[in-house]
Amino acid sequence: MVVADQKAGALYVVDPRTCQILRHDTETVLAEHAGFLPLPHGRLAYIDDGAGELVVLNVFTNSQDWRESAVSVAIPGEHLAASSTGRFIAVTTGLGRDWQPWSDLVTLVDRHGARPRSRRIRTRRGEPGVVIARDMGEADASPALVIRHREPGSLEMIGVAAVQSADAHGPVLRGDLTELPDDGHGDAYDPLTGMIFNATGSGVYRHTLENGVLVAHPTVPWNVPGRAYFVRFCPRDRCLFAVVRGGDPDPKNWQVWTNHLWRYSLDTHSISTAPIGPGLVFRLGLTRDHAVVTRIRPDGDEAVSYRRRPGAALQVHGRSALPPMSDAPRPGREPWDRAERRAIAASSAGSLFAVTRGGHGELHILDAADAGATMRTVRLPTALNEGGHLAWLTRGEGDAHGHDLVGR
């Protein structure tokens, strides 16, 4: 398991079986919103906002130097996504410390060859999402960046070949636009069918790239009040997962927000939802047979696991109390304002998952299949302020079942 403390500029590798820290790197600042991106053959990519680099790690190597490559990209990193082979990686830029959009740079990295090469283009200022999609109508066509813009909302399609052949000095390069709601946030991609998924307030918009054109498909509804801001693709079960948040739109009243776990089957088009409870729920993790979340609330935080058998409804399996955070979110104040958070990650090949205790430098290991099992705790040298970030890799699992091609 890889643990990032972006506030301390640290990166750790932890063995979840022994709770031992195997590696400790310093002076590397993970772009938390973009997260980690697993790649084929046990590689893991992330954006180092401190160095302005896309870093690829060889997680399972025995070598002392596990950094396989580092190549310059535009920062602050907002989102990153890979092509299905892992050859191409796209990086978009966000606000950083500003309140208003200022950067229109998108970077494309080509990992093929003796060393990776990056090319920057300019599109539109904002906080865009991105996937790299293949053309389902032309087998030999170049893949394309599909960039999700907000306010005004749209999808912009720019061919990888066009980016690679562009001038080296950050030229403006625009593509064909497809209308999308202004409030899009949350992206996923299915490499088997070429389906592109974009979360909006009215549901999940779906498109495929066919003969150079984005073709719209019926929107998938949330089926419960609210919307999700984060969608995750499970390549083994071929499902999308999300947490749908509803209730009072004022973030100062986060403690009464409603939350539902949401699952959509790409093959049967069935939707299943299950209530989580009021409070603050961020991202989710997926073990082999469970979906897991953490719920922050004034009367005590908890981790919740759900059975997610294909074809069966989602069912609560267990709830585990979590040690409190001393600077946890408070009612009456925005939950991301001077408050700690929790990160979560899970073993896709087993039942274990991990949760951080922001501000305390602790990583808790739990069992989704046994909520009554003793929780184990790893104590890290840094505080994990704002919760840090996690990635759980299992050797060979992604190569056998496929990868989620969007950074999490």
DSSP per position, 69-106: EEEE--SSEEEEEE-TTSSEEEEEE--TT-SS----EE
φ, ψ (nearest 5 deg) of residue 399: -70, -30
Buried b (16+ CB within 10 A) or exposed e, 340-360: bbbbbbbbbbbbbbbbbbbbb
pLDDT digits (tens, 9 = 90+) for 25-60: 999 999 999 999 999 999 999 999 999 999 999 999
- Res. 309 pLDDT band, cuts 50 70 90: very high
Strand-pair partners of 290: 307
- What tokens does 345 get? 């990650």
Average pLDDT over residues 337-366: 97
> DSSP assignment, residue 310?
T
> For the chain, what is the domain count?
1
Classified as helix, coil or strand, 254 is helix
pLDDT digits (tens, 9 = 90+) for 119-147: 999 999 999 999 999 999 998 999 999 99
Between CA 144 and CA 202, with CA 267 as vertex, the angle to 5 degrees is 70
| pLDDT at position 328 over 90 | yes
Residue 103: partners with Cβ closer than 8 Å, 6 or more residues away = 74, 76, 93, 94, 96, 125
Average pLDDT over residues 398-406: 89
User: What percentage of the chain carries pLDDT values higher than 70?
Assistant: 100
**Residue 357 domain flag:** no
User: Is the peptide bond preceding residue 76 cis, with omega within 30 degrees of 0?
Assistant: yes
| pLDDT at position 346 over 90 | yes
CA distance 184 to 189: 15
> DSSP assignment, residue 5?
E
pLDDT at residue 164 in the model: 97
- Res. 401 pLDDT band, cuts 50 70 90: confident
| pLDDT at position 362 over 90 | yes
- Res. 264 pLDDT band, cuts 50 70 90: very high
CATH number of residue 326's parent domain:
2.130.10.10
**Residue 106 domain flag:** yes
Classified as helix, coil or strand, 399 is helix
> DSSP assignment, residue 253?
G
Strand-pair partners of 356: 363
CA distance 66 to 63: 6
Average pLDDT over residues 186-196: 98
Average pLDDT, the chain: 97
Average pLDDT over residues 330-336: 95
**Residue 375 domain flag:** no
**Residue 395 domain flag:** no
pLDDT at residue 398 in the model: 81
3-state percent helix, strand, coil for the chain, nearest multiple of 5: 5, 45, 50
| pLDDT at position 266 over 90 | yes
**Residue 99 domain flag:** yes
CA distance 406 to 233: 9
- Res. 396 pLDDT band, cuts 50 70 90: confident
**Residue 347 domain flag:** no
Structural domain that includes position 206: 29-334
Average pLDDT over residues 220-246: 98
Q: What residue type is assigned to position 184 of the chain?
A: G
pLDDT at residue 204 in the model: 99
pLDDT at residue 397 in the model: 81
pLDDT at residue 338 in the model: 86
HEC readout, 123-170? CCCCCCEEEEECCCCCCCCCCEEEEEECCCCEEEEEEHHHHHCCCCCC
- Res. 337 pLDDT band, cuts 50 70 90: confident
Q: What residue type is assigned to position 299 of the chain?
A: D
pLDDT at residue 91 in the model: 99
- Res. 247 pLDDT band, cuts 50 70 90: very high
Identify which of 253, 327, 261, 342 has the alpha carbon closest to the alpha carbon of residue 296: 342
| pLDDT at position 99 over 90 | no
φ, ψ (nearest 5 deg) of residue 392: -115, 115
Buried b (16+ CB within 10 A) or exposed e, 376-395: bebebebbbbbbbbbbbbbe
Between CA 118 and CA 124, with CA 123 as vertex, the angle to 5 degrees is 135
**Residue 34 domain flag:** yes
**Residue 93 domain flag:** yes
Identify which of 399, 358, 408 has the alpha carbon closest to the alpha carbon of residue 84: 399
